[in-house]
Each structure stands twice: as structure tokens, then as C-alpha cells.
Chain A
């Protein structure tokens, strides 16, 4: 039987693409959450430091 290397490389390439793509998706989500946490933390800190409006 012929060796069909192109099929072997297609299978391994596709698997690498799927696994790599999933890994990248997880990392991107991690960065998004970190940015969101950072923004929320900064907003909370700003609220704490802002002088309160004088009461009339």
C-alpha cells in the first residue's frame, strides 16, 4: 500500500490546529477576565478616593 504521507500530515496538522486553537481561546479568555477585574478594581478605587459631594 502507498504511504499516503499527505493524509498523515493532514491528520496531525488538523489536530494541532484544533488543540492550539482551544488553548489560545482559553488564554484569551483569561486575559479578558484579568482586564475586566482590573477595570472593576480601578473603578472601585476611584469611588473610594473621590471626595463626597457636599450636602445642601
Chain B
């Protein structure tokens, strides 16, 4: 294929369509929560991909500070932006899921609070980049923030173990087997793969745009 970014986009679109078919057509109705549990196929992949995005920000920021490679800076910028999008989806869908199951849209529970802090930190990261006019300075400051901000990722993930929370413990990233029927796991895996492909597509597109912006506006 001539354009790998375009191919990735098509793969992501096919993956998302397959994810919808599996989530609504193949995965069974959950016995306790009913059909509202189908929000899980959106909510869980969104946060896992956000973890991936912010992990990439950490690696790219470290690389930038070490090698001063402009490409690493562009990757960190793009990945943070896409990570914020997926975190926003996770928070919004969690709130929508919380209302019928917990009886509230929002509660200051450790998981919800820590994920909101993570969202705000990465928003601040993007604001910092937008505010500083000197590109080199913006890249350097953002790289430091990108490394410090990653400390919040384990806090988000382990918050359900460290504090007593309304939110359930992790379903996927946990020691031992996943406590779900194979059909639910398959539906979740397909949606996770689709979201990961979409992440790859968005980041590739954004990195290319950032490079072009720097060339055109130089």
C-alpha cells in the first residue's frame, strides 16, 4: 500500500465496525447489569489506549531530552493530544455508565478523582505547548512535564487497590485470569485492538501535520 497512514485508517475503521458488531450483536446481555454493561466495550479500551498514549509521551519525552530529536517531540505532542481525547471519552462514558448502575453521574471516588487529575495534567501539558512561543523551550518544558505526569498513571491504575472505592478493581490489567466469560473477553479485545489502531492512525496523522506546520510556518 502506498500510504501506510491511510491503510491504518482503513484498518481502524474496519476494526471499529467489527467492535460494534461484536459488542451489540455477539456479546450476550450481562446478567446483573443488563445491556448497559455494553458501555464497557467503549469505556475500558478508552482508558487502556490513554495509558498507552501517555506511556508513549513518557518514552518520547525522555528521548527528546536525551537526543534533542524533533521527531520525538512531535510524537510526544501528538500522543498527548490523542491520549486526552481517549481520557475524555473514558470519563464521559464512565459517568454515563455510573448513573444507572451506581445511581450517580459522579462521585469523588479515588479512581474517578485520579483519572480526572490525569486528564487535567495532560490538558495543562497541551496548554503549556500552546502558550510558549519559543518552540525549543516549549519542547523542553513539555518533555519535563510529560515525564512527571506519567507518575499519575500507576496512581490511577492502583487507586482501586490502595483506597476503598466505589469503582470496581481492574478487569484486564490485573494479576491472574480475567474474571469474565470468553465472549465478553473477545468483545473487549476486539474493541481494544480497534481503539489501538485508531490511536495509531490519529497519532501518525497528527505527527505528519505537526511536521508540515513547522515547515510551512517556519
Interface residues of A (CB under 8 A from B): 1-5, 7-8, 10-12, 14-15, 18-19, 22-23, 26, 29-30, 33, 36-37, 40
Contact = CB atoms under 8 A, between A and B. Distances in A.
B34 A12 contact: no
| Main SS at interface, chain A | helix
Contacts of A8: 35-36, 38-39
B32 A15 contact: no
Q: How large is the interface on B (under 10, 10 to 19, 20 to 34, 35 or more residues)?
A: 20 to 34
Contacts of A5: 35-36
A22 B202 contact: yes
B85 A19 contact: yes
A23 B8 CA distance: 14
A19 to B, nearest CB: 7
A30 B46 contact: no
B191 to A, nearest CB: 11
Interface string B62-99: 00000000000000000000100100110011001101
A33 B216 contact: yes
A23 to B, nearest CB: 8
Given A26-B206, A33-B216, A11 B35 contact: no
Nearest to B89: A15
Nearest to B208: A30
